[in-house]
Amino acid sequence: MPLDPLPDWVPARRREIGARIRAARLAANLTQERLGERVGRDYRTVLRWEYGQRVPDLNDLLLLADALGVPLAQLVE
């Protein structure tokens, strides 16, 4: 059963993961739109991941790591 409300560290961790996705995207010289195309998601979804509003599931994280050419651990460590 999920905690309600979530502990403070959860939203902070979401933002950290989003920042890592954004940094890797910029390092790969990709737009949000182009990254979204590579992983089969809309650019607005990529934007929400990057700002910690949504969390990519494991499948999306695997696709992101592949599309960005980085190890999965780099996105979630």
| Within-domain flag for 53 | yes
Cβ atoms of residues 43 and 33 within 8 Å: yes
| Number of compact structural domains in the chain | 1
A 10 A CB-CB count for 75 gives 21
47 lies in some domain: yes
1 part of a folded domain = no
Q: Which structural domain range is residue 32 located in?
A: 9-76
pLDDT band at 4 (very low <50, low <70, confident <90, very high): confident
**Structural domain contains residue 3:** no
**pLDDT digit string, tens, across residues 22-75:** 999 999 999 999 999 999 999 999 999 999 999 999 999 999 999 999 999 999
The predicted-structure confidence for 17-31, as pLDDT tens digits, reads as follows 999 999 999 999 999
CATH code of the domain containing 14: 1.10.260.40
Residue 56, domain member (yes or no) = yes
